[in-house]
Amino acid sequence: MTKYVFVTGGVVSGLGKGITASSVALLLKSRGYKVFMQKFDPYINVDPGTMSPIQHGEVFVTYDGCETDLDLGHYERFIDEELNYTSNITSGKIYSSVIEKERKGDYLGATVQMVPHITNEIKNKVYEAGITSKADVVITEIGGTVGDIESQSMIEALRQIQYEKGSENTFFIHCTLIPYIYGSNELKTKPTQNSVRDLRNMGIRPDALVCRVPFSTPDNLKEKLSMFCSVPVGNVIDSVDVKNIYDIPINYYKQHIDEIILKQFNLPIKKADLKYWEDLIETVNNLKKEIEISLVGKYVELHDAYISVVEALKHAGYKHNLKVNVNWVDSEELEKIDNLDEVFKNSSGILVPGGFGQRGIEGKIKACKYARENNIPYLGICLGMQIAVIEFARNVCKMEDVSSREFDETCKNPIIDLMAEQKHVINMGGTLRLGNYECTLVKNTLAHKLYKSDKILERHRHRYEFNNKYKKQLEDKGLVFSGYNEPSDLVEIIENPNHPFFIACQFHPEFKSRPTRPHPLFDNFIGASKKYKK
């Protein structure tokens, strides 16, 4: 029977609940249990696909094409399991499904209500994850903080699960903040007491507290928290600030959080295999040299908008024993700057990531041209591939009025065009080309050499594609089309062999990078950047 761990948050948001949930999952997996993860987001959007990355951060994409919260990226990177559409549930999804059922007549005779109809739907999503994943333990994180209006129905559903399944099958972790007051030099427990009281007012007693705290909580404070919050003192876990997030599972391991959970579940405490993770931390904390990579995007004011790209760069850095520093370049600002030497003077590589809309496009094209002309390693992702094609057509093939239909509907040469399947799409949400598609790699190309494979599967999120009408013109000037999707003939990878390292892809390789297993494109991009630096 599946067991359920729930992770809630109190006091403030942004405490690292996602990392806590991921760390607990990693520890349980390291003890031989099959784990699965889920995030519940209380907002009304069906998914974050149409939200601004500057507000919400990156949209992560699962292999089966679900656009999700960025926390799922942490989950996958920590537990190294592919998640799916059952892993990100929003209030929007819950409400739509209940309303659809009501229209079909599934509730004939009933007044459809928050309890039990909405809460049943939420509970079903938790149970469905357990059934379809066949996991021993499902770890579900609830977004926001306890007390938010939006998440009340979710918390109520969890209360019912706690009651239905009993405490030997459910475990509640509540993440809170212990603030430090400068001057009186004290750590304060009151906000935690209050947030636990909020949770208990809704019928849930947490089994453990994870307290974000600047340094280890003294024993007397833990005892106080234990007494006020009715949590055993051993279940009050410190989450001290760390240099890198990969330290966190080990911090929790030392405080036995996984053993506490397994004991409550009456499950055997098998030996933990954490050697690979300890080796990773050893590497991360002892990186010998540094390297700077310029990331040219238009959402740079919120670094979370590119979190998987940055993590993928770091992972590749670990392999090459390099600490990767990102030079954040605002593409719109770049349009006004003439001295690019100054902007890129310390950078050993230029990366143009994904993006939407016309703003900042010319700045990205400028950065791409600079990389091509100065032999600086270039990695283009999704929009970064489309940009590379436009740049090549304009400046190498000397074609005029070249653009993407996304930015210029009426350009003479729409070298990037709307995909045929998109022409009749009306809704904006959930209608991009999403998730895994196969890509065939052309022999004797850089892509084939890097992947060491004839066929690959990568995750996508786009509406526009390379316009094959222009292929010959670009090939004649030396551009190589090294990957394509066979059934649709859609271009997936381009490269420039007259350059030390210039490659760009229509898909998002960053989603498949893991800290202990960097993605081949990132791995070799950093490798080439290291060479460039020498």
The answer to the question of residue 405 lying near ligand GLN (CB under 6 A) is no
The answer to the question of residue 73 lying near ligand GLN (CB under 6 A) is no
In whole angstroms, the minimum distance from the beta carbon of 462 to ligand GLN comes to 3
Is 382 one of the catalytic residues?
yes
The answer to the question of residue 407 lying near ligand GLN (CB under 6 A) is no
CB nearer to ligand GLN: pick between 47 and 238: 47
Residue 235-274 contact track with ligand GLN, rule CB under 6 A, x = bound: ----------------------------------------
CB nearer to ligand GLN: pick between 222 and 461: 461
CB nearer to ligand GLN: pick between 253 and 464: 464
The answer to the question of residue 56 lying near ligand GLN (CB under 6 A) is no
**What is the phi/psi pair of residue 101, to 5°?**
-65, -40
CB nearer to ligand GLN: pick between 48 and 355: 355
Number of residue whose CB is nearest ligand GLN: 354
The answer to the question of residue 510 lying near ligand GLN (CB under 6 A) is no
Pick from 77, 117, 369, 462: which binds ligand GLN (CB under 6 A)?
A: 462
Secondary structure of residue 103 in the 3-state scheme: helix
In whole angstroms, the minimum distance from the beta carbon of 352 to ligand GLN comes to 9
In whole angstroms, the minimum distance from the beta carbon of 263 to ligand GLN comes to 45
Stretch that binds ligand GLN, among 41-49, 216-224, 334-342, 461-469 (CB under 6 A): 461-469
In whole angstroms, the minimum distance from the beta carbon of 304 to ligand GLN comes to 16
The answer to the question of residue 532 lying near ligand GLN (CB under 6 A) is no
Q: Tell me, by CB under 6 A, how many residues bind ligand GLN.
A: 10
- Residue bearing tokens 């496009």: 361
> How would you label 468-499 residue by residue, b for 16+ Cβ within 10 Å and e otherwise?
eebbeebeeeebbbbbbbeeeebbbbbbbeeb
Sign of CA dihedral 222, 223, 229, 233: positive
The answer to the question of residue 354 lying near ligand GLN (CB under 6 A) is yes
Contact 497, 514 (CB under 8 A): no
In whole angstroms, the minimum distance from the beta carbon of 504 to ligand GLN comes to 11
Enter the tokens of residue 84: 């799916």
Which candidate, 277, 256, 491, places its Cα nearest to that of 388? Answer: 491
Pick from 156, 406, 417, 495: which binds ligand GLN (CB under 6 A)?
A: 406
Calpha distance 502→276 (Å, rounded): 32
- Which of 320, 448, 508, 519 is catalytic? The answer is 508
Which candidate, 212, 103, 207, 191, places its Cα nearest to that of 147? Answer: 191
The answer to the question of residue 463 lying near ligand GLN (CB under 6 A) is yes
CB nearer to ligand GLN: pick between 61 and 456: 61
Residues 365-384 that bind ligand GLN (CB under 6 A): 382-383
Calpha distance 156→116 (Å, rounded): 10
Stretch that binds ligand GLN, among 195-203, 306-314, 340-348, 462-470 (CB under 6 A): 462-470
The answer to the question of residue 490 lying near ligand GLN (CB under 6 A) is no
Stretch that binds ligand GLN, among 29-37, 319-327, 460-468, 523-531 (CB under 6 A): 460-468
Stretch that binds ligand GLN, among 203-211, 246-254, 353-361, 450-458 (CB under 6 A): 353-361
Which residue type occupies 190? K
Contact 88, 66 (CB under 8 A): yes
Task: Provide the pairing of β-strand 289-297 with 322-330.
Answer: parallel
| C-alpha separations of 416 from 49, 391, 445, 475 in Å | 22, 12, 23, 16
**What is the phi/psi pair of residue 36, to 5°?**
-140, 150
The answer to the question of residue 521 lying near ligand GLN (CB under 6 A) is no
Calpha distance 171→139 (Å, rounded): 9
Calpha distance 505→494 (Å, rounded): 6
Please give the full DSSP string across 419-440, using - where no structure is assigned.
Answer: -GGGTT----TT-SEEEEEEEE
In whole angstroms, the minimum distance from the beta carbon of 70 to ligand GLN comes to 14
DSSP structural state of residue 216: P
In whole angstroms, the minimum distance from the beta carbon of 206 to ligand GLN comes to 39
Contact 316, 525 (CB under 8 A): yes
The answer to the question of residue 355 lying near ligand GLN (CB under 6 A) is yes
- Residue bearing tokens 């310029």: 294
**What is the phi/psi pair of residue 185, to 5°?**
50, 55
Q: Name the region of 308 (left: φ>0; alpha: ψ -120 to 50; beta: rest).
A: alpha
Secondary structure of residue 455 in the 3-state scheme: strand
In whole angstroms, the minimum distance from the beta carbon of 386 to ligand GLN comes to 6
Spell out where 178-267 has E strands.
Answer: 180-181, 186-187, 208-213, 236-240
- Which of 175, 382, 397, 505 is catalytic? The answer is 382
The answer to the question of residue 305 lying near ligand GLN (CB under 6 A) is no
The answer to the question of residue 389 lying near ligand GLN (CB under 6 A) is no
- Residue bearing tokens 């990969």: 246
Pick from 6, 40, 464, 481: which binds ligand GLN (CB under 6 A)?
A: 464
Is 508 one of the catalytic residues?
yes
In whole angstroms, the minimum distance from the beta carbon of 313 to ligand GLN comes to 17
Pick from 77, 461, 499, 512: which binds ligand GLN (CB under 6 A)?
A: 461
Is 411 one of the catalytic residues?
no
CB nearer to ligand GLN: pick between 17 and 461: 461
Sign of CA dihedral 28, 33, 39, 40: negative
The answer to the question of residue 492 lying near ligand GLN (CB under 6 A) is no
Which candidate, 69, 462, 511, places its Cα nearest to that of 311? Answer: 511
**Residues near ligand GLN (CB under 6 A):** 354-356, 382-383, 406, 461-464
Tell me which residues are annotated as active site. 382, 508, 510
